Amino acid sequence: MMKPDNELVLSDLIRGAEGPLKILGGGTRPVGGSIGEVLTTQGLSGISLYEPGALTIVAGAGTPLVEIEAVLASKNQRLPFEPMLGHAVFGTGGESTIGGVVAANVSGPRRIQAGACRDSLIGVRFVDGRGDIVKSGGRVMKNVTGYDLVKLMCGAYGTLGILSEVAFKVLPGIEAVTTIEVKDLKDGAAVAAMSMALGSPFDVSGAAHDPDLGVTMLRLEGFVDSVAYRATELSKLLAGFGDVRLNEATNWVAVRDAVKFEGGNGDLWRISVKPSDGPRVGMALRGAKLLYDWGGGLVWAEVAEGTDVRGALTEIPGHCTLMRGVGSGPVFEPVVGALAALTKRLREQFDPRGILNAGLMG
């Protein structure tokens, strides 16, 4: 296993590679499969800059996520996008790295309010398939200088280049949190309640629905008095949907990490649709074990092995990723038409030999 400890070594390894490279951070979220000699970024570790007054942190791609979160917490700050951990869903051990989080654009329930990983990412350094060391963005939160390769690299699963350093805009910590829970709503009503809450002025930072627990969850975060006020107002707004209660201890980590699917059998899919289409996904996948996040726009679905999920959802715009299991068809949503041609040519430009996580995204 290759474990470069600086960018120059990483560049040399890529230039010298004679075959495909399987690129890993901590290896905690093995979506799909790639072949080749393993190269991990874990050696590119450490926080190189943290300025609480400027809401900015810069770290090596191999830095453990827990280290970043601990350092931020020590100054009462946090990553805005609440990255999920893959251990429960994938049954993996090890440490999630910040570079892996970026490569997979991993975002949690707060995505609906604070944006995805890609929205907080303000700079990257990476080594492309030619071995060139490239930077884009920087360490300031407003930057439109040149093309935004930062976004392109986020969610590219290492197929365009291997991240060596990442920079984030961070946010102040949260003083208080509470969750409004509505019981026993059918999926359609649950999404309607979440839409109403998300369309209210009360700044909802999490909107999830677990049909098995029969609970719809709406999270409020902020200063103590403000949370109390908004909880009262939002409870009134949602009263028409049924029994509304406040819960200070709702387990949002279980939502974030999709813990209910831990150790499960069958295929686990992650499906991104318009929130109002969420219930249609549930209906189309009758019998699936479901969890709705992002107000209904993110549907986790565990189905019997080999179920043709994309086939069942052809009428619903969006896309599906196979997180675990044998599935049916490609792991990532196939890109078609003009976008497929663009994607192919971008890969050829950034990785002309096709050695970086080859074939992973199709």
Partner 1 sequence: MLMPEPNDRILSRKADIVARLQGVLSLDAVIYEPNETLVYECDALTAYRCPPLAVVLPANTKEVSEVLKLCHDIGVPVVPRGSGTSLAGGALPTVDSVILSVARLNKVIETNYDDRYVRVQSGRTNLSVTTAVEEKDFFYAPDPSSQLACAIAGNIAMNSGGAHCLKYGVTTNNLLGVKMVMMDGTVTDIGGGHLDAGGLDLLGLICGSEGQLGVVTEATLRILRKPEGARPALVGFDSSEVAGACVSDIIKAGMLPVAIEFMDRRVLEVVEKHAKAGYPECEAVLIIEVEGSEAEIDMQLGMIRQIAAKHNPVDFRESKSEEESVAIWLGRKSAFGAMGLINDYICLDGTIPVSELPQVLKRIGELSDKYGLGVGNVFHAGDGNMHPLILFDANKEGDLELCEAMGAEILKLCVEVGGCLTGEHGVGVEKRDLMHAQFDPVDMEAQLRVKDVFDPSWLLNPSKVFPLGLTEARRSARG
Binding to partner 1 (CB under 8 A) within 93-152 occurs at 105, 111-112, 115-116, 118-119, 128, 132-136, 138-152
Helix (H) or strand (E) holding 97: none
**Residues linked to residue 135 through DSSP beta bridges, in sequence order:** 125
Q: Contact at 8 Å (CB) between 113 and 222?
A: no
**Longest C-alpha distance within the chain, in Å?**
65
Q: Judged by CB under 8 A, which stretch of 17-25, 62-70, 246-254, 271-279 contacts partner 1?
A: 271-279
Q: b/e for 177-208, b at 16 or more Cβ within 10 A?
A: bbbbbbeebebebbbbbbbbbbeeebebbbbb
Specify the residue, 134 or 213, whose C-beta has the smaller distance to partner 1. Answer: 134
CA-based nearest residue to 89, from 313, 249, 321, 361: 321
Specify the residue, 12 or 203, whose C-beta has the smaller distance to partner 1. Answer: 203
Specify the residue, 92 or 143, whose C-beta has the smaller distance to partner 1. Answer: 143
Total residues in contact with partner 1, by rule CB under 8 A = 83
116, with CB counted inside 10 A (0-12, 13-18, 19+), is buried
Q: How far is the CB of 28 from partner 1 (least distance, A)?
A: 20
List Cα–Cα distances, 273 to 8, 110, 320, in angstroms: 41, 17, 9
Does position 229 interact with partner 1 (CB under 8 A)? The reply is yes
Does position 92 interact with partner 1 (CB under 8 A)? The reply is no
Specify the residue, 9 or 171, whose C-beta has the smaller distance to partner 1. Answer: 171
CA-based nearest residue to 328, from 289, 293, 301, 354: 301
Does position 353 interact with partner 1 (CB under 8 A)? The reply is no
Q: How far is the CB of 95 from partner 1 (least distance, A)?
A: 25
Q: How far is the CB of 132 from partner 1 (least distance, A)?
A: 5
Q: Contact letters (x/-) for partner 1, 241-270, by CB under 8 A?
A: ------------------------------
The vertex-169 CA angle with 164 and 175, nearest 5°, equals 130
Q: Judged by CB under 8 A, which stretch of 28-36, 66-74, 283-291, 314-322 contacts partner 1?
A: 314-322
In the three-class reduction of DSSP (H, G, I as helix; E, B as strand; rest coil), residue 150 is classed as: helix
Specify the residue, 3 or 235, whose C-beta has the smaller distance to partner 1. Answer: 235
CA-based nearest residue to 213, from 168, 165, 171, 179: 179
Helices (H), the chain: 7-16, 65-74, 87-90, 98-103, 111-114, 117-120, 149-153, 187-198, 224-238, 252-256, 278-284, 309-312, 337-350
What residues contact 116, with CB distance under 8 A and at least 6 apart?
81, 105, 107
Cα–Cα distance measured from residue 115 to residue 307, given in angstroms and rounded to the nearest whole number: 31
Report the residue from 331, 332, 353, 359 that binds partner 1 according to the rule CB under 8 A: 332
Q: Contact letters (x/-) for partner 1, 152-171, by CB under 8 A?
A: x-xxx---x----------x
Q: How far is the CB of 192 from partner 1 (least distance, A)?
A: 8
What residues contact 152, with CB distance under 8 A and at least 6 apart?
160, 346
Q: Judged by CB under 8 A, which stretch of 20-28, 87-95, 251-259, 335-343 contacts partner 1?
A: 335-343
Specify the residue, 86 or 275, whose C-beta has the smaller distance to partner 1. Answer: 275
Q: Contact letters (x/-) for partner 1, 45-84, by CB under 8 A?
A: ------xxxxxx------------------xx--------
Report the residue from 8, 15, 35, 225 that binds partner 1 according to the rule CB under 8 A: 225
Specify the residue, 95 or 198, whose C-beta has the smaller distance to partner 1. Answer: 198
Relative to beta strand 161-169, strand 215-222 is: unpaired
Residues 179-218 that bind partner 1 (CB under 8 A): 192, 195, 198-201, 203
Specify the residue, 133 or 259, whose C-beta has the smaller distance to partner 1. Answer: 133
Amino acid at 226: S
Q: Contact letters (x/-) for partner 1, 288-307, by CB under 8 A?
A: ------x--xx---------
